[in-house]
Structure 1
Amino acid sequence: MIVIQRRNKIKELLLQERSVKVADLVKEFQVSEETIRRDLNQLEKEGIIQKNYGGAILTEDLQHVISAILPVQQRKFQYYEEKDAIGREAASLVGEGQIVVLDSGSTTWCVARHLKEVSNLVVVTNGMNVAEECSQNEEASIFLLGGKLVKKSMSLVGPQAVDELNKYSAHYTFLGTSGITLGKGFTSSDLYEAEVKRAMVKAGSKIVVVADHSKFERQALVSFAGFKEVDIVITSDLADEGVLRAIRSFGVQVIVCPVRQTLKEKPDSKDGPER
């Protein structure tokens, strides 16, 4: 694991747990205690943590801020560079005057970020954060589906959303996913969100799943699409190539965004070899 990836993982642990211990991080990442202490020194310089005996905690300011941030907004900052590259690539598929269905989620939010220059765009979405982002395109027409609000993801779900989706016919549907496995295909951690995703699959001519590398070989609660129902998967070169080859064998086009070199950071010469 390269340095920047390890430090991002430590940040994620801090977001979840509010504190970390050096001994636990050494065991988790299989590196030396000296390496972990250098990581924590860097995070302290960035104003993210306050070191204490045996570990570190989030700064008080960050703890107050994070307590007020919704989970979907927190997810924007996890693997952000990777998700942004995936979003840019996905948005490049969309042409002037086309209709797109955009799922809720952090990666689809990144797709929305890069649709701002598309003329006469029509967007149908169940994601409040996605609709807000698309509203910055002054030429876009935005249709927000109705339904019950899931506060954790700021998405609208339920029979009303499904019924409304049955009325649309889009050029592209862009979907996020909680997990991708060769046995179950694309899965969601929420039953009701999965129902909306299935309706989105039916509404689109081209079905595109956008997923960062952490979603592969991970299975969530319920499947919403198989490989035969999806046309394109867009991910990054951090994803396992063997898994991507297997997905291609189902007839799915896999687009890989190059981010590894961008994220790569030369290891500290004192670290010794990374494991």
Structure 2
Amino acid sequence: MIVAERRKFIKDLLLKNKSVKVSDLVELLHVSEETIRRDLVRLEKAGIAEKNYGGAILIEDAANVPVVPPVDERKRQYSLEKELIGRAAASLVKEGQIIILDAGSTTWFVGKHLPANASLTVITNAINVAEECSKDETASIYLLGGELRRNSMSLVGPQAETELKKYSADFVFLGTSGISLRQGFTSSDLFEAEIKRGMVSAGQKIVVVADHSKLEKAGLTTFCNFEETDIFITSDLTDKKILKEIEDRGVQVIVAPLSEETII
């Protein structure tokens, strides 16, 4: 069992039983106590667990993380807002550049608006993003391998993580499940969070895109903190005070203008 699978197993057990014991996990997973304790430290940093003597307990807020709907359904939520955010993000890209796009509804809109006939190299773990970008016949598309997550139409796992180490991109565009001033940019899926971290390591400029509904929400685990992020792109429906706080942490904020009445 790979690291991400093991931690997801522990997380699921915590959500079910509210607590876990190191001794039980050692027996169930056939790994050392030291390995389990490292996993619990990681889950504690992610805001899921609180370590105690001999194990860990579930943090109350972690049980209330919302279920993420399928990506096609998410594309229809705040679709105009995401379209304008995607267009603003895509405008950063210049001819001949290498970009990485992760799986998500807003990143799909980035792919939709990439400059045409620009001989781009696009690397993604999302089947629907690869399909959209392939409409430009001058683009070279690289689809990362791995296990298919049907909810997001993304490929995750150690194969994708290993492949990412081969690349160096001009831009990495990432979606996010939530944005917390304490935790940074977060994901509700441990597997996808690992891929996002790999993408962060492969990029020269890290760009996070998100509609206004993602602010002041926190997913299960942080994949990118503010210090690692170069640009955050959202709309003018987002709370300006929060955007100022994000700017104060060294992130360039780009706001796509639109009126609330036009949001679909």
TM-score bracket, shorter-length normalisation: 0.7 to 0.9
Whether the 8 Å contact between 2:226 and 2:251 is mirrored in structure 1 is yes
Partners of 2:104 and 2:123 lie apart in 1 by 14
Question: Is 1:195 aligned with 2:194?
Answer: yes
Q: Which residue of 2 aligns with 1:129?
A: 128
Aligned to 1:150: 149
Partners of 1:114 and 1:88 lie apart in 2 by 5
Query: 3-state DSSP class of the match of 1:205?
Result: strand
Report the Cα distance in structure 2 between the residues aligned to 1:156 and 1:182, rounded to whole angstroms: 29
Structure-1-length-normalised TM-score = 0.70
Which residue of structure 2 lines up, in the alignment, with residue 98 of structure 1? 97
Structure 1 counterpart of 2:139: 140
- The CA deviation string for residues 183-207 of structure 1, in whole angstroms up to 9 with x for no partner, is 0000000000000000000010000
- Partners of 1:115 and 1:137 within 8 A in 2: no
How do residues 113-262 of structure 1 correspond to structure 2 at under 5 angstroms? 113-260=112-259
Give TM-score, length-normalised by structure 2. Answer: 0.72
Runs of 5+ in structure 2 lacking a partner?
1-68
Aligned length: 196
The Cα of 1:74 is off from its aligned counterpart by 1.0
Deviation at 1:101, TM superposition (A): 0.3
Instruction: Give distance in 2, aligned partners of 1:142 and 1:244.
Output: 33
Q: Distance in 1 between matches of 2:220 and 2:133?
A: 29
For the Cα contact (< 8 Å) 2:179–2:185, is it kept in 1? yes
SS in 2 for 1:233: strand
Q: Secondary structure of the equivalent of 2:216?
A: coil
Shift in Å, 1:154? 0.4
Q: What is the CA distance between 1:121 and its match in structure 2?
A: 0.4
Go from structure 1 to structure 2 and tell me whether the alpha carbon gap of 1:262 and 1:93 turns closer, same or farther (over 3 Å shift). Answer: farther
Name the structure 2 match of 1:20: none
Shift of residue 116, structure 1, vs aligned partner: 4.9
- Offset of 1:261 from its aligned partner? 6.2
Larger Rg, first or second structure (1 or 2)? 1
Q: Is the 8 A contact 1:170 1:205 kept in 2?
A: yes
Aligned amino acid, residue 151 of structure 1: R
Query: Which residue matches 2:79?
Result: 80
State the percentage of identical aligned residues: 62
- The superposition leaves residues 31-54 of structure 1 with CA deviations (integer Å, 9 ceiling, x where unpaired) of xxxxxxxxxxxxxxxxxxxxxxxx
Distance of aligned partners of 1:221 and 1:122 in 2 relative to their CA distance in 1, 3 Å threshold: same
- The alignment's C-alpha RMSD in Å is 1.4
Indicate conservation of the 8 Å contact 1:116/1:134, yes or no.
no
What is the CA–CA distance in structure 2 between the aligned matches of 1:237 and 1:155, rounded to whole Å?
Answer: 29
Q: Tell me by how many angstroms 1:169 deviates.
A: 0.2
Per the TM alignment, residue 153 of structure 1 is displaced from its structure 2 partner at its CA by 0.5
Kept in 1: contact 2:177–2:218 (CA 8 A): yes
Query: How far apart are the structure 1 equivalents of 2:202 and 2:148?
Result: 21
Q: Secondary structure at the match of 2:254?
A: strand
* SS of 1:76 mapped into structure 2: helix
Query: What displacement does 1:235 show?
Result: 0.1
Give the distance between the partners of 1:192 and 1:124, measured in 2 at CA.
18
Contact 2:180 2:217 in 1 (8 A): yes
Alpha carbons 1:94, 1:118 under 8 Å: kept:
no
